[in-house]
Chain A
Amino acid sequence: MVDVAVVGAGQTKYGNHSLGLKGMWAEAALSAFESVDGDFSPSQIDEAFIGSIAFGGSQLGNTAALLTEHSAMDGVPVRRVENACASSGFAFRDAWMAIKSGQADVVVAGGIEKMNDLTPERKRLWLGVSGDTEWERLAGLTFPGTYALMARRHFHEYDSNHDDLVHISVKNHSHGAMNPLAHIQKQVSFEKAASGFMVADPLTLYDCCPTSDGASCVILAADHVVQQFTDTPVWIRGSGAASDRLALHDRPSITQLKATAEASKRAYQQSGINPRDIDLAEVHDCFTIAELMATEDLGFAQRGEGGMFARDGRGVLNQGDVTINSSGGLKSKGHPLGATGTGQIVEVFKQLRGQVANGRQVRDAETALTHNVGGSGATCAVHVLGRDRQ
């Protein structure tokens, strides 16, 4: 079966973006096109998948066609992929599958979200739209509340506490401070992060990712056309995905995301790679507790030892077992919902090609993992990528 590689990747800066939807997408697409080493024309694109949740409600139908129209991809078969915050992680997987199926050679996967052009009242649109509406939402829960329930239970069951979450926040801000594309480019002290405004007890402001605008775009190619575009492709070694019950109360445990565990197991099996081989991981830290649990679910730490993993700095850039969220993660780089999954791919594409500046490059990076979660864990896509094809 055909192998698939990433040959180009780009994104906008995340944050309060001055550009609108069409402008942001065009910027990300152009950035991806220009990142291709060899000759590349958008006319070579066979298929496109674009992840987004709601575009701020401004264009609910046929959104993908609007974007391709404004990014020199007229006529390309395209569709919007919606899986909450994992929308573009799944768009990336769909693109990979399109090439694997033999139906396409060059495919674009991307994502976009415009979140900050709403009035303060309408901005509540984004709160909890991807959780269980009928039961959790009527219990007053939005995602800070949902993840707060997980955090408190984790503290109760295991040797973890809020200080562990503070370590994660400090680490990701430290990484993001070096990332010119990050939403929040500043260091945060332990003391400041430990005493933040309480959002959903026990989670404070410094445990929560920001509301960001942004777009990201990735170009995938089949093995028999890769050399047209680059001599240093990043190979997709494994793609795993899974889903779980939408509501927390329907799951056997709320201290583990089963979808993450299943998706990573499949991605590891497919790639022949195990967690100890991973040099860097872009992990879905929409809340710091999400990163703590992900380090367990992805196999970097034993179950219940995610707190200790964070406490011991084992995810710090070039200092621990594996660099986690060299980009700053969702916490610092930002979280434009639909753009996050392929934004993670942009980061590992650059890291694996040694193209990251400002002291943020992961040394000797050969193998990377991306982990993109939808909502509170109802969907998850995990990808293992490497410099080597096999």
Chain B
Amino acid sequence: MTSGTDVWKGYLLAWDETYTLIQSPFISHGSRVFGADSDHTTLAIAALQHRLSYDHSVDCVSLAEGVNGSIFTMATGVAMADEETYDSCKWDLLIGDDATVVLVQRDTSIELPVLDTQIEVDLEFHTAIEKAWESELLAGHVSQGAYVSSAQYNEGGVARMALSGQQFGELLVWPPRQLSKDGDREDGRISLKPLGSVASWTKLSAAGAPSEFSLRAPLLGGLTTVFLDLDDGPKGVFLMVDDEENEVAIGETVELVVRRIYAQEGMIRYGLRGRII
């Protein structure tokens, strides 16, 4: 298929051979707004992931300001253009004033379709969540107790964003480890399918949330975490997305999508979160 519209990783999507348009489904006072854990970076990642699912020729993208380039590359494996590579890069990523991102072939004239789906969000909730994110992003907001430094976070970035697993002989391992139980180094990396089934789950009350989440958890009514048996074998624990209602139960199929997790010391930590499909 060379064109169409769809719902993709919780977002609205339209595409043809020359562009991919991706938008948040949420509306407030006539404007598209982000869901509770989305931003331009998560939209951009989802847009490229869709294109990569059928078009493997994209090897470089020129990014607009407002998209986190290192996160984008960790999640997709596609390089962002710099001064040297800009001219050879065939794809530009543009962001709108609202919750919209367009991935477009350079020097192509396109007419974007209007996507009809609109979910009206509660303005008070939306404002409170955005303010909480702003507060989290302040440099002084640091977790109490357990602390993941940016260096440690980045070290696991590709595994965290692209579900990159390790091959130890016949064994597939995720999250990555330095040595296998036999003391061997990995044989290679493989991206796992971002799908799994719920083996267990819990909803943590706001009062018990780690300090990283302490500003948003009360607004969200707690945090829902799932323990997944990934389709490719390994297991993992993941937060569910905050911008969709999810009726979680053991055995449900979950798709993993890149979303904001929390912010600390001025840096947003992104990662995979689950949504029931």
Are B200 and A156 neighbours in the complex by a CB distance under 8 Å?
A: yes
Are B201 and A149 neighbours in the complex by a CB distance under 8 Å?
A: yes
Distance between Cα atoms of A144 and B223 in the complex (Å):
12
Which residues of chain A come closer than 8 Å to B223, judged between CB atoms? 140, 145
Distance between B144 CB and nearest chain A CB, rounded to angstroms: 4
**Chain A residue, CB-CB nearest to B261:** A138
**Chain A residue, CB-CB nearest to B174:** A249
Are A134 and B148 neighbours in the complex by a CB distance under 8 Å?
A: yes
Are B156 and A200 neighbours in the complex by a CB distance under 8 Å?
A: no
Distance between Cα atoms of A138 and B145 in the complex (Å):
13
Name the residue in B199, B202, B213, B227 with the highest tally of chain A Cβ atoms < 10 Å from its Cβ.
Answer: B202
Which residues of chain A come closer than 8 Å to B145, judged between CB atoms? 124-129
In the assembled complex, A352 has its CB within 8 A of some CB on chain B: no
Are B202 and A201 neighbours in the complex by a CB distance under 8 Å?
A: yes
Q: Which of B147, B205, B214, B237 contacts A139 (CB 8 A)?
A: B237
Chain B positions 191 through 213: 1 when the CB is less than 8 Å from some CB of chain A, otherwise 0 = 00000000111111101111111
Q: Tell whether A254 pairs with B200 under 8 Å between CB atoms, given A128-B210, A249-B236.
A: yes
Q: Tell whether A139 pairs with B225 under 8 Å between CB atoms, given A127-B145, A133-B148.
A: yes
Distance between Cα atoms of A122 and B143 in the complex (Å):
9
Which residues of chain B come closer than 8 Å to A199, judged between CB atoms? 204-205, 207-208
Name the residue in A134, A144, A198 with the highest tally of chain B Cβ atoms < 10 Å from its Cβ.
Answer: A134
Q: Which of B146, B204, B239, B271 contacts A133 (CB 8 A)?
A: B146
In the assembled complex, B108 has its CB within 8 A of some CB on chain A: no
Q: How many residues of A contact B (CB 8 A)?
A: 40
In the assembled complex, B96 has its CB within 8 A of some CB on chain A: no
In the assembled complex, B152 has its CB within 8 A of some CB on chain A: yes
Which residues of chain A come closer than 8 Å to B236, judged between CB atoms? 135, 249
Q: Tell whether A145 pairs with B202 under 8 Å between CB atoms, given A121-B214, A134-B152, A139-B238.
A: yes
In the assembled complex, A136 has its CB within 8 A of some CB on chain B: yes
Chain B positions 209 through 229: 1 when the CB is less than 8 Å from some CB of chain A, otherwise 0 = 111111000000001010100
In the assembled complex, A148 has its CB within 8 A of some CB on chain B: yes
Which residues of chain B come closer than 8 Å to A198, judged between CB atoms? 203, 205
Are A139 and B239 neighbours in the complex by a CB distance under 8 Å?
A: yes
**Chain A residue, CB-CB nearest to B207:** A199
Which residues of chain B come closer than 8 Å to A138, judged between CB atoms? 148, 160, 261-262, 269, 271
Distance between Cα atoms of A138 and B175 in the complex (Å):
13
Which residues of chain A come closer than 8 Å to B147, judged between CB atoms? 133
Distance between Cα atoms of A136 and B234 in the complex (Å):
15
Q: Which of B146, B203, B250 contacts A137 (CB 8 A)?
A: B146
Which residues of chain A come closer than 8 Å to B235, judged between CB atoms? 248-250
Which residues of chain A come closer than 8 Å to B271, judged between CB atoms? 138
Distance between Cα atoms of A134 and B250 in the complex (Å):
25
**Chain B residue, CB-CB nearest to A130:** B146
List the interface of chain B (C-beta within 8 A of A): 144-148, 152-153, 156, 160, 175, 199-205, 207-214, 223, 225, 227, 234-239, 250, 261-262, 269, 271
The 11 sampled A-B contact pairs (Cβ below 8 Å) are A123-B144, A133-B147, A140-B209, A145-B208, A149-B202, A153-B227, A156-B250, A199-B208, A203-B202, A249-B235, A250-B235
- Closest 7 A/B residue pairs (Cβ): A148-B202, A140-B223, A125-B145, A249-B235, A124-B211, A153-B200, A129-B145
* A-B contact sample (10 more), CB < 8 A, given A248-B227, A248-B237, A249-B234: A127-B211, A133-B147, A134-B156, A139-B238, A152-B201, A153-B199, A198-B205, A199-B208, A202-B202, A254-B200
